[in-house]
Chains A and B, each alone.
Chain A
Amino acid sequence: MTNDIAGIKKADVILIIGSDTSAAHPVIAARIKQAVRDGKTKLIVIDPKKITIADYADIYASHRPGTDVAVLNCLMHEILKNGWEDKEYIQNRLEGFEEFKAEVMKDIYSPEYVEKISGVPAETLRAIAKLFGTAKTASLYYAMGITQHTTGTDNVWSTANLQMICGNLGVEGGGVNPLRGQSNVQGACDMGGLPNVYPGYQKVTDAKAQAKFEKAWNCKLDNKVGITVTEMFDAMYDGKLKGLYVMGENPYLSDPDQNHIIKAMETIDFMVVQDLFMTETAAYADVILPAAAYAEKEGHVTNTERRVQKSNKVIDPPKGVKADWEIIQLIANAMGSDWNYQSPRDITKEINLLTPQYAGITWERVGRNGLQWPCPTTDHPGTPYLHKGKFARGKGLLKPIPFQEANELPDEEYPLILTTGRVLQQFHTGTMSRKTEGLNNLAGPMVMISVYDAEKMGISNSEVVKIATRRGEIEAPAFVTKRIQPGVIYIPFHYSEAPANRLTNSAIDPVAKIPEYKVCAAKVKKTN
């Protein structure tokens, strides 16, 4: 998030697009609902499903999955047409405006045209543009509904474009605010758990950065960008990747095109999985290492608003398990190295030294409430919102983003759009949440299908149906509802007994390499 959670209340208008906020980020949803309930803030929700938070919205629009760019461009089209943009901001802080304008002012982004593309009535698009465009400060929240597309990068650019032309970046109560799905996605990225960057987003291709880390670690480092998760499984499948070390992840359920993943894991020579449980992925490993849970060790995690918080040891780990950092150190040393961390604190010190944004976030300073990066020095108070005054790169860049359809569209054989996501009571691949019986009682597998489609196919509520795509098929009970639009079905991806990712398309965004979980063509059949 460019902004902080406490600042949610300061917005005059909040736009949620591609985030089932009350299910995936319930406490942020609560903050947004508070702001709406206090009466000062207006809420716009754009989502293919009428998600719970849409009930609190002043305007709700249900767009066809995969048409986000068209919708966002249309909003900007209307905003520019009516002169609601922040001209001074554009003048002083942005560049690339003319090229950008030439794109969004095309006729295909007029409300009437976009109504045809997205299914959102032109009148609604106009109303949203007006409410958003004329607001003093407006903030935008999104999650995987924006990123998990082959056009994910485009979608993200479009949200930034919108916020830039409205002058909503770098102000309290504004911002582009992606909501992070897991407790420490932010931290994993910050710490260089990415193929192209060292900790602190220092590029592996940058000679200076390379030199810095080589010196600190006293070794030679590679300056070639590594491969991403999706590419890893392709390489495994092709026999090019021989060894894989998985720490606390469950790609079996979380990655697209499950059959492909399984074959890849079967092919690889040597795979190590480090986890709390015998996960679906661990079953394919050659060695499994038992790891300590969050409550059994110390360290820091960084939340979606870049707040680094201390995670404390609450109970003792069961006998026989070790903390992840200890295990890593053991392997490193067994391979002939000389690591000597006595405790996580020693690693924190190294992070402070090598990660500019984290330089001031020392073990001693974090305290109960944490610190928000960037925090470059030990007397810096932390940064609640980014881009204040100027952008990190100097001027904000507006980029023309043409609309592109999703990779796989419905056709005669697979007439429905399948989109996936989360439910409130379960989490990710269920490794943690599914161990609590009550959560399972509350939320089991299902496929959400519109009343219209269900009636057409003679499917009744709770009836177990088959869902098939070009990649596979699963069975799940139908949840027949008006909350989803005709032509679209939705399946939460938490369940190994009905794994949504057996169905999803592994086509990826060319830049971010994120698979298109939110759109693929599917069909539903009765089981009997």
Chain B
Amino acid sequence: MQVYLNGKAYEAKPGETVLQLALRNGIYIPHLCFHEKTGQAAKCRACVVEVEGIPGLKTSCNLPLKEGLKISTNSERVLDAQRMVVDLALSSGRHDCLSCEQSGNCELQDAAYYLGIERPTYQLYEDNFEVDDSSEFILVDRSKCISCGRCVEACNHTVVNEVIGFGERGFATKIVFDGDIPMGTSTCVQCGECMQLCPVGCIIDKRAVGSGRNWELDKVETVCPYCGVGCRMEVQVDRKQNKITRILGVDDSPTNNGMLCVKGRFGFDFVNSDERLTSPLIKENGSFRDASWEEAIALIARKFTEIKKEFGSDAIAGLASAKVTNEENFAFQKFIRKEVGTNNVDHCARL
């Protein structure tokens, strides 16, 4: 199916909306509520476009494509409307990008930048927003909420924990947890799905506050070290400090589709923990002392060889691990089987 965006022909996929087609082809249309995962909400109204033959503006996020449709995403009229709509969203809260955690990764900031909005025209908020820091890992700064509804959709339809909803109406509309109690006392399980999908700096990672600008952090994908689901995650790293700053789920992963649980998302402190062992230890007279790798390895080799000689290979056993890689488990059982000479190898899988 062929359609036209700003005068140029594009091939559309079946079921695609105007917004999806545009984004797929690198044409930016400001949008604040649409996300591939939470779907179309048509709430922010920033994605309006003009369609030849249809009076008025149309939101592109829920506009199905038809053969030959001619769409303008950047006419004066469209940009004017978009500008005003984004300006309204910006005016609605305390969007101080300088101090906001989300800066550099904020979809509202991106939209404002695209439309050339320097600062909000109006100031609508009163300075009486509460910051909800009752939750262990998640901070909610309602002064930045643009009521896009992604978190509500995410909590109710993606992770189906059914905690977040909208309370109040009109301008006073706000997200609420379990009817309207602090997040920390609600039934929230701190999976962080809402936080990951919030386009602005309203729901943020409490422990990451002040620990690095988005653009300064390196992003590496890996697999969660906890349970057997094997969620794929993006780890954000502060290279200078060699430290994990925050973890996000990978949206296009077939295993977890961007979701994580509280352990996977927040339970990474052990990696940078002070309690990590950093030197081999040898027990002497009931207590441990530091040893060099050479000494420790030599001792182990000697001991295992002695036991093998004296009591036979079957007097040695090894416990492989459900927490290390396939390569390491392979090497481990190869070691026990080949070098020790026994099949006494097992692990705590069943426990």
Contacts and interface: CB of A to CB of B under 8 A. Distances in A.
Nearest to B224: A183
Closest 9 CB pairs of A and B: A303-B230, A299-B325, A180-B228, A226-B343, A193-B320, A33-B160, A334-B301, A248-B321, A26-B261
Contacts of B235: 295, 314
B260 interface: yes
Contact of A243 (B307, B324, B325): B307
A289 B275 contact: no
A436 B270 CA distance: 7
Given A226-B342, A307-B255, A287 B282 contact: yes
Nearest to B351: A254
20 contacts: A25-B228, A26-B189, A188-B321, A195-B343, A198-B333, A226-B343, A229-B319, A232-B344, A244-B318, A245-B335, A246-B319, A247-B320, A278-B275, A293-B271, A305-B230, A324-B328, A325-B331, A331-B335, A433-B267, A436-B266
Interface string A1-42: 000111000000000000000101111101001101100000
A344 B160 contact: no
B13 interface: no
A299 B332 CA distance: 14
A351 B329 CA distance: 11
A285 B245 CA distance: 33
B160 A248 contact: no
A312 to B, nearest CB: 4
B226 A432 contact: yes
Contact of B325 (A187, A318, A335): A187
Interface in B298-318: 298-301, 303-305, 307, 310-311, 313-318
B158 interface: yes
A30 B159 contact: yes
B278 A321 contact: yes
B328 A303 contact: no
A292 to B, nearest CB: 9
B309 to A, nearest CB: 11
B327 A318 contact: no
Interface stretch (A88-96, A438-446, A452-460, A520-528): A438-446
Nearest to A248: B321
B277 interface: yes
A336 to B, nearest CB: 8
Interface centre among B242, B333, B347 (most CB of A within 10 A): B347
Nearest to B239: A315
A47 interface: no
Interface string A332-374: 1011110001001001101100000010000000001110000
Given A193-B320, A225-B343, A347-B331, A316 B242 contact: yes
B64 interface: no
Interface in B233-277: 235, 237, 242-244, 250, 252-256, 259-263, 266-271, 273, 275-277
Contact of A331 (B225, B297, B313): B297
B341 interface: yes
Interface centre among B228, B261, B315 (most CB of A within 10 A): B228
A217 B341 CA distance: 12
A332 B316 contact: no
A229 B318 contact: no
Contacts of B278: 290, 318-321
Contacts of A226: 314, 317, 342-346
Interface stretch (A77-85, A117-125, A468-476, A509-517): A509-517
A324 B320 CA distance: 11
Nearest to B157: A37
A34 B158 contact: yes
A196 B344 CA distance: 9
Contacts of A224: 343
Interface centre among A187, A198, A370 (most CB of B within 10 A): A187
Nearest to B344: A226
B297 A247 contact: no
Contact of B331 (A198, A303, A328): A328
B291 to A, nearest CB: 8
B163 interface: no
Given A226-B343, A337-B338, A433-B263, A311 B223 contact: yes
B288 interface: yes
Contact of A439 (B260, B266, B271): B266
A481 interface: no
B229 interface: yes
B348 interface: yes
B345 A193 contact: yes
A217 B339 CA distance: 10
A185 B271 contact: no
A277 interface: yes
B222 interface: yes
Interface stretch (A100-108, A268-276, A402-410): A268-276
Interface residues of A, number: 151
Interface stretch (A68-76, A166-174, A423-431): A423-431
B119 interface: no
Contacts of A191: 320, 326, 329-330, 333
B191 interface: yes
A193 B263 contact: no
A328 B335 contact: yes
A113 interface: no
Interface in A144-188: 144, 147-148, 179-188
Contacts of A184: 228, 321-326, 329
A278 to B, nearest CB: 6
Interface string B81-117: 0000000000000000000000000000000000000
Contact of A240 (B260, B276, B303, B315): B315
A297 interface: yes
A299 B328 contact: yes
Interface string A291-315: 1011111111111110111111111
B75 to A, nearest CB: 38
Given A184-B325, A330-B293, A232 B346 contact: yes
A350 B301 CA distance: 24
Given A180-B228, A247-B319, A247-B332, A515 B351 contact: yes
Given A184-B324, A436-B266, A222 B342 contact: yes
Interface string A481-515: 00000000000000000000000000000001111
A25 B229 contact: yes
Interface in A253-295: 254-255, 269-270, 272, 275-278, 285-291, 293-295
A219 interface: yes
B221 A312 contact: yes
Contact of B222 (A222, A254, A312, A351): A312
Contacts of B271: 293-296, 315
A323 interface: yes
Nearest to A354: B330
B341 A222 contact: yes
A378 interface: no
A418 interface: no
Given A28-B229, A180-B228, A369 B253 contact: yes
Given A219-B338, A319-B278, A512-B350, A26 B191 contact: yes
A228 B341 CA distance: 16
A442 B262 contact: yes
Given A315-B244, A432-B270, A277 B276 contact: yes
Contact of B343 (A204, A337, A515): A204
Contacts of A327: 297
Interface centre among A187, A199, A255, A314 (most CB of B within 10 A): A314
A241 interface: yes
B157 to A, nearest CB: 7
